[in-house]
Amino acid sequence: MRYLTSVFAAFVLAASAYADSGKPIRYQVNGVDYEGYYVSPEKGAPLVLLLHDWDGLTAYEVTRARMLAGEGYAVFAADLFGAGIRPAKVQDRREHTGELYKDRDKMRVLMNGALDKAASLGADTENVVAAGYCFGGAAVLELARSGADLKGFVLFHGGLSTPEGQDYSRVKGEILVMHGSADDAIPMASFAELAEALEGAGVAHEMVTYGGAPHAFSVFGSKRYRPEADRRSWERFLMFLRLKTR
């Protein structure tokens, strides 16, 4: 436990180093206001498009963005709900995610709008990996299925189902899935179904499970947080980024 605590402390220090350089970014998609977050350690750094959980873009994603900046990556944390919309109640969260699950075209437009805004800020949008947590993971798969020309797509305990009428025939980048085998929200049956779909489509992928890790295992401060699974998945993520954005 002492080792895990020191690792987490290192994460926090890396994040705090970029506390002043990152900033909230107001932007519009189809005339609607959104508020993301952008941080970059240097000009020309590889970009991570970071997609939030069902509670919207919060301090959690900002912390992860700063941690990535400490590793040499620019990050645009997108807003998929709208400026000022950060639902705190479960019913409200279901409402906002449900709207986007029903309107996949809108979900795709919002993610591409975030990439466009990142490009306007000077981000290298030719060298991008998309990553997301929970709902954001489901959004990452949606972006992959759309045929977005990114280097890779990464999910932390994300939604894994494939909508009716969609497949993985257009995917252009490798997919990395990191999932807790004790996840009671997204069962291992869904994990297996996705593996079969990716294999059938010939998509390069890696899928990792963490024993005993529940849904949202990487959300520090929560009852579901599992420091070992968080550490190992984060290290695998950084390795993936190094390989894909060289």
Query: In this model, does residue 15 exceed pLDDT 70?
Result: no
How confident is residue 246, by pLDDT bands cut at 50, 70 and 90?
confident
Query: In this model, does residue 20 exceed pLDDT 90?
Result: no
* CA pair distance 58, 63, nearest whole angstrom: 9
Residues 132 and 140: beta-carbon distance below 8 Å? yes
Mean pLDDT of the chain: 93
- pLDDT (tens digit per residue) in 39-53: 999 999 999 999 999
For range 122-136, the mean pLDDT = 97
The pLDDT value given to residue 13: 56
How confident is residue 21, by pLDDT bands cut at 50, 70 and 90?
confident
Query: In this model, does residue 68 exceed pLDDT 80?
Result: yes
- pLDDT (tens digit per residue) in 69-124: 999 999 999 999 999 999 999 999 999 999 999 999 999 999 999 999 999 999 99
Question: Which one has a higher pLDDT value, 206 or 12?
Answer: 206
> H or E segment at 29?
strand 23-29
| Residue ranges covered by each domain of the chain | 2-236
Which one, of 12, 5, 48, 23, lies nearest residue 238 by Cα? Answer: 48
Query: In this model, does residue 5 exceed pLDDT 50?
Result: no
Question: Model pTM?
Answer: 0.93
Query: Which of the following CATH numbers is that of domain 2-236: 3.40.50.300, 3.30.70.1430, 3.40.50.1820, 3.90.1150.10?
Result: 3.40.50.1820
Q: Which percentage of the chain shows pLDDT scores above 90?
A: 91
Query: In this model, does residue 17 exceed pLDDT 90?
Result: no
* CA pair distance 103, 198, nearest whole angstrom: 23
The residues that bridge with 124 in the sheet, in sequence order, are 46
* Three-state SS at 33: strand
